[in-house]
Amino acid sequence: MSGERAERDAWLLFPSPGGRGSSAHRAEDPLRSGRLDIVVANAGVGDFGPLGAITEEAYERATSINLKGTVFTVQKALPLLSAGASVVLLSSSAALRGAPGLGVYAATKAAIRSLARTWAAELAGRGIRVNALTPGPVATPGGDGLRAAFPQDEQITAAAGPAVPTPLGRAGHPDEVAATALYLASDQSSFTTGAELYVDGGATQL
């Protein structure tokens, strides 16, 4: 689990690839104050493959990192979360658009949305907000590499992200997703919980 300093003496925590058994137990190490104001759980891996090609190894890897890693990251942080704290879970528009070849990845991201709603209800009494952030097509090195490796495969290049058209006519940028996460983590969204905020250029709504 890695951390970056944020406002209000908080840390942003990210699930690490080993799920529960890797570095989640180190959550308290940097938190000398014994208090945590913000958790951003951002985990996303997945092998491309249609139903007939899904392997148990690929399934276990995606569910362990994307779902298990998120669950136990937030669970480990829970005793440190203060009243007014914010938890932001990263989902994906793949969970909504039925992209061929991304079934397992999309399923894990749909589960993240469900967790955000459930945890928002569970933690409301403590004054802790939980929201989901759902990016759409975003230009990233990973997507560029996938399209370069399989230039003739239309399903793969489409699933890579930025090739998917949006009403705004372009892919998003990582800093636009980060700015939205910062908004959900900040006091500017203090009356928002259990919500899903789309950062996708209108692709899933229009």
For 13-48, how does the pLDDT look when each residue is reduced to its tens digit (9 = 90+)?
556 555 554 344 455 554 566 789 999 999 989 888
Which H or E element spans position 177? Answer: helix 174-185
What average pLDDT is seen over the chain?
82
pLDDT tens digits along 141-172: 655 545 454 454 555 555 555 555 789 989 89
Which helix (H) or strand (E) is 72 found in, with range?
Answer: helix 69-77
Report all structural domains of the chain as residue ranges with CATH numbers, in order of start.
2-136+172-199 (3.40.50.720)
Range with the lowest mean pLDDT among 54-68, 80-94, 164-178? 164-178
Question: Hey, CA dihedral for 80, 81, 82, 85, is it positive or negative?
Answer: positive
Identify the CA nearest to 128 among candidates 36, 43, 15. Answer: 36
β-strand 129-135 against 81-90: which pairing, if any? parallel
The set of catalytic residues is 105
What pLDDT score does 103 carry? Answer: 95
The sheet with strand 36-41 has its strands ordered as: 36-41, 81-90, 129-135, 196-199
The amino acid that residue 116 corresponds to is: A
Distance CA 156, CA 101 (A): 8
Total Cβ atoms within 10 A of residue 158: 18
Q: What whole-number percentage of the chain has pLDDT above 70?
A: 72
pLDDT of residue 3: 39
- Most confidently modeled range among 16-25, 48-57, 96-105, 116-125: 116-125
Q: Side-chain half-sphere of 2: how many Cα atoms within 13 Å?
A: 5
Question: Taking 50 as the threshold, does the pLDDT of residue 10 lie above it?
Answer: no
